[in-house]
Amino acid sequence: MPLNATQLSAIESSVAILLASGAPLVAELRRKFPEVTFVRCPQEDMEGTPYLSGDGYQLYLINRSEVCISVTDSPQQADGVVIAL
């Protein structure tokens, strides 16, 4: 299921709030958005331009429709988010 602008905005807000609160980031995001895949990794593990950037984090969109996961800049092709810290 492709991501839409409303979901991405809610995800970005949630990431900022969860990071500020110290709550378990990926577990809470998976609970709140069960239809979206979330992965957390260090920023140095990511290449390319993030889809969104916040204070201390970047969000990359991923597509899991193929055998290998790929980074995409298209929400219409994305079904997950990498949170790079």
- pLDDT at residue 37, as a whole number: 94
* Residue keyed to tokens 């996961």: 69
Q: Are 85 and 57 in contact (CB under 8 A)?
A: yes
Evaluate if residue 1 carries a pLDDT over 80: no
Q: Supply the mean pLDDT for the chain.
A: 94
SS3 assignment, position 61: strand
Residue 74: CB atoms within 10 A of its CB come to 11
pLDDT of residue 2: 86
Rounded mean pLDDT of 48-77? 92
pLDDT for 49 equals 93
From 8-12, 29-33, 62-66, 81-85, the region with the lowest mean pLDDT: 62-66
